[in-house]
Amino acid sequence: MTSSKRAAVQTEFGFVRWGGKRRGAGRKPKGERAGVSHAKRPKLCQRFPVHVTVRLRRGLPSLRCKEAYLVLKRAFAAGAMRFRFRLVEYSVQTDHLHFIAESTDGRALSRGMLGLSVRIARALNALWGRRGRVLDDRYHVRILRTPREVRNALVYVIQNARKHGAWHAERPDPFSSGPWFGGWKGRAQVSISRSGFLDRARTWLLGIGWQRHGLIQFHEIPATS
């Protein structure tokens, strides 16, 4: 078969030559569900809060126990308001953490999350009597630009244990900032004074704007997507 005919057959059946840049080539990310993109993050403006998800390395103990939660709260307190970064809401799940935060820009968010992550890792390693990495891959960030997005994120974070079937009571999840959250419908049933380390929201979206779509009820379950 001549070279020209061979090329025509390759084209017809979708064959390609070796060499050159190929989709999917190169070193793959490590860790369980290592799907967090390493592309440059979108630009963050001061008026937008963010939803941040941080995952543990595979095989580590559960975070939803009294001992782990106490050391996490101390780590949160130490890193909650640094480098123009503010931690406003959070929830602790078995193998991951959710945060709602504010920062002046992307650099402040990166510095604040780095400091918070280091404190979390050190605290948990000390509790578990181990050394090595604690957090898996890099954290995932979603910028919240509208009142509806902020409300959805608040439900997702504070009520995340309901999504996983880990909490069913008609009161806030104790492994979250829910007991101090001021946006509950029927909030007279819970304490709405802020904890000693969580700051109040300063952006309009997170402080007031999301309430356009209604206060949050205790039984609400986050969307699955």
Note the residue count of the chain.
225
DSSP 63: S
Q: At what angle do helices 66-79 and 106-128 cross, to 10 degrees?
A: 150
Question: What secondary structure does DSSP assign to 1-26, as a single string?
Answer: --HHHHHHHHHHTT---SSS--TT-S
Residue 39 maps to a domain:
no
Residue 219 maps to a domain:
no
The pTM assigned to this predicted structure is: 0.79
Model pLDDT, residue 44: 81
DSSP 122: H
The dihedral of CA 205, 163, 72, 132: what is its sign? negative
Residue 42 maps to a domain:
no
d(CA 55, CA 98): 9
Q: Which two tokens stand for residue 210?
A: 């999301």
Q: Given pLDDT bands bounded at 50, 70 and 90, which one contains residue 137?
A: confident
Residue 29 maps to a domain:
no
Residue 96 maps to a domain:
yes
Residue 184 maps to a domain:
yes
The dihedral of CA 32, 142, 153, 81: what is its sign? positive
Q: Given pLDDT bands bounded at 50, 70 and 90, which one contains residue 167?
A: very high
Per the prediction, the chain carries an average pLDDT of 84
The whole domain housing 79 covers: 50-213
Query: Is-contact 142 153, C-beta < 8 A?
Result: yes
Residue 190 maps to a domain:
yes
Give the domain CATH number at 196: 3.30.70.1290
Residue 105 maps to a domain:
yes
Q: How many domains does the chain have?
A: 1
